[in-house]
């Protein structure tokens, strides 16, 4: 029990329920500053609701309930928080449990002057927290039940209770609620209010259209799809060749060297695109890394991509059946340990590396968004059974290639055209090709499904990946590929 001694002021007291008088005004606008009319504005706890007018304005108001005239403070009162009485400015309370009793005193401006927790029964001299004459409030809480009192410190030494009139200014601070604004075409806005006498300027954001759902794959420009590695702190056991990082990746068939470049600004909570660069026969993963993953890395100005180049089967040997398993296990490892956008995984490659990427496009449409293949063919040492699913596909062909000949490249393209169009009709669409002089020609097919674009680029040249236009010393292939991948 706790008892604070009287210091000489007396109190006029009126009991009031915990609801307070308040007025909330505001205006609701969109992100461009335009008024939002007919928006529903509601206080969730109090159940008050209104709508915005043509100017976006609204008002929510509640009057203080009429206490019904007099309360004799010298007579004990039963309330929601137990047995209460006031005598000589001392608040006495008792209740039937040992639950904590919280007593708070506020001035008319809502400033809290006292917060004290007692147990069971006790007394509090409210005057101990009052240093000047005026109107104050005391709030007594037990669990979720609470009672609010208005009292007056009038400067006399005797209690001045008895008949009092209703006050029109009750406690504002501590009277909290959540304001919710709902309007067609906008995200729902919920604002926590700690003071219900306030004026608000609220801005609603346009709702993003719902993402279309497909049996597999995604629509163009879909929202990122984060992997389970997002939010995870990951440390790789890097090794270096010069300043170029790599890891020794352990998979079910042994260990394979994997070159990997992660943005310096890597954020574990931001989903990154993933681009594989597959080496050619006679090449190596380090060569792919040295060339900037077929020239794509310099275009990543926003550091939005993780680049990966796995070592081919036996380094110099072409890709074989086991390498499809390597791809699956490496992709699972990367998605589990880094924050990757699983809807934007791409693969590129030259020669046997392009044939491997092309093979992946036949049966990995659920995890690969698109491939870019340079001097490819419809054949390889081993190829998977094709699934009847579309995929983004870009091919680059040198018309003088005598290894992966133009006929082989066109055959690989036509298989994809069959997969990417209704009834394979895109095979009947004649692509414009290089005519023998001038710069390269790229043709984007118009009869394929929009989600699965096909780009076909041709030029004079042999079995190389970095074709250049006449008079140019810089290849057009990387920028064209970057532009193609940016469609997704």
Per-residue pLDDT of 398-440, as tens digits, reads: 999 999 999 999 999 999 999 999 999 999 999 999 998 999 9
254-266 pLDDT tens trace: 999 999 999 999 9
Tokens 């209460």 — which residue? Answer: 84
Q: Could you give the angle at the alpha carbon of 294 between the alpha carbons of 290 and 298, nearest 5°? A: 75
27-70 pLDDT tens trace: 999 999 999 999 999 999 899 999 999 999 999 988 755 443 33
Q: Residue 119 has what pLDDT?
A: 76
In eight-state DSSP terms, residue 186 is B
462-474 pLDDT tens trace: 999 999 999 999 9
**Cβ burial 409-429 (10 Å sphere, 16+ → b, else e):** bbebbebbbbbbbeeeebbee
Phi, psi dihedral angles at 132 (to 5 degrees): -150, 160
Q: For residue 303, is pLDDT > 70?
A: yes
Q: Is 36 exposed, middle or buried (0-12, 13-18, 19+ CB in 10 A)?
A: buried
The answer to whether 66 touches 21, Cβ cutoff 8 Å, is: no
Q: For residue 91, is pLDDT > 80?
A: no
159-185 pLDDT tens trace: 333 333 333 333 444 478 999 999 999
- Rounded Cα gap, residues 361 and 369, in angstroms: 9
- Rounded Cα gap, residues 367 and 347, in angstroms: 11
At 320, the pLDDT band (50, 70, 90 cuts) reads very high
Sign, Cα dihedral of 352, 357, 358, 360: positive
Q: Which of 82-86, 104-108, 311-315 has the lowest mean pLDDT?
A: 82-86
Q: For residue 315, is pLDDT > 70?
A: no
Q: What is the mean pLDDT of the chain?
A: 85
Percent share of the chain, pLDDT over 90: 64
Q: Residue 237 has what pLDDT?
A: 80
Q: For residue 139, is pLDDT > 80?
A: no
Q: Residue 79 has what pLDDT?
A: 53
State whether residue 470 is helix, strand or coil. Answer: coil
Strand partners, 244: 241
- Rounded Cα gap, residues 340 and 433, in angstroms: 36
Tokens 């470049």 — which residue? Answer: 261
- Rounded Cα gap, residues 218 and 357, in angstroms: 20
Q: For residue 2, is pLDDT > 50?
A: no
Residue range 333-355: mean pLDDT, rounded: 97
Both tokens assigned to 259:
């070159």
State whether residue 369 is helix, strand or coil. Answer: coil
Which domains are present in the chain? 11-18+66-153 (2.60.40.3080), 22-62+176-204 (2.60.40.10), 239-485 (3.40.50.1820)
Q: For residue 221, is pLDDT > 90?
A: yes
At 158, the pLDDT band (50, 70, 90 cuts) reads very low
pTM of this prediction exceeds 0.75: no
Q: For residue 292, is pLDDT > 80?
A: yes
């Amino acid at each position: 029990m706790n008892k604070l001694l009287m210091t000489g002021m007396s109190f006029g007291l009126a009991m009031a329920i915990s609801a307070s008088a308040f007025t909330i005004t505001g205006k609701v606008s969109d992100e461009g500053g335009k008024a939002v009319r007919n928006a529903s504005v509601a206080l969730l706890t109090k159940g008050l609701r209104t709508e915005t007018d043509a100017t976006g304005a609204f008002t929510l108001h509640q009057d203080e309930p009429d206490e019904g005239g007099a309360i004799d403070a010298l007579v004990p009162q039963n309330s929601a928080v137990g047995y209460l009485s006031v005598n000589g400015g001392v608040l006495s309370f008792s209740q039937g449990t040992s639950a904590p009793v919280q007593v708070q005193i506020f001035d008319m401006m809502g400033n809290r002057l006292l917060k004290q927790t007692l147990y069971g029964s006790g007394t509090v001299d409210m005057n101990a927290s009052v240093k000047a004459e005026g109107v104050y409030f005391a709030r007594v809480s037990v669990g979720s039940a609470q009672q609010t009192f208005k009292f007056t410190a009038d400067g006399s030494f005797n209690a001045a209770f008895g008949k009092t009139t209703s006050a029109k200014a009750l406690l504002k601070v501590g009277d909290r609620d959540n304001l919710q604004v709902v309007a067609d075409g906008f995200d729902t806005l919920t604002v926590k209010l700690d003071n219900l006498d306030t004026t608000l300027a609220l801005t609603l954001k346009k709702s993003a259209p719902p993402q279309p759902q497909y049996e597999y794959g995604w629509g163009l420009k879909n929202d990122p799809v984060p992997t389970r590695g997002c939010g995870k702190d990951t440390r790789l056991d890097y090794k270096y060749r010069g300043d170029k990082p790599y890891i020794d990746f352990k998979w079910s068939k042994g260990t394979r060297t994997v070159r990997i470049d992660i943005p310096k600004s890597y954020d574990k909570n931001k989903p990154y695109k993933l681009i594989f660069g597959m080496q050619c026969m006679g090449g190596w993963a380090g060569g792919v890394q040295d060339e900037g993953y077929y020239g794509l890395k310099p275009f990543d100005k926003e550091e939005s991509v993780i680049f990966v180049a796995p070592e081919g089967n036996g380094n110099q040997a072409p890709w074989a059946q086991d390498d499809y398993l390597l791809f699956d296990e490496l992709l699972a490892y990367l998605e589990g340990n880094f924050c990757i956008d699983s809807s934007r995984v791409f693969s590129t490659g030259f020669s046997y590396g392009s044939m491997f990427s092309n093979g992946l496009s036949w049966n990995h449409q659920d995890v690969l968004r698109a491939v870019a293949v340079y001097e490819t063919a419809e054949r390889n040492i081993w190829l998977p059974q094709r699934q009847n699913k579309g995929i983004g596909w870009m091919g680059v062909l040198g018309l003088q290639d005598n290894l992966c000949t133009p006929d082989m490249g066109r055959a690989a393209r036509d298989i994809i055209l069959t997969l990417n169009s209704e009834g394979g009709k895109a095979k009947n669409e004649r692509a414009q090709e290089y005519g023998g002089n001038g710069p390269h020609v790229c043709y984007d097919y118009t009869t394929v499904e929009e989600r699965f674009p096909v780009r076909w680029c041709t030029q004079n040249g042999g079995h190389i990946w970095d074709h250049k236009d006449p008079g140019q010393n810089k290849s057009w292939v990387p920028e064209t590929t970057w532009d193609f991948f940016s469609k997704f």
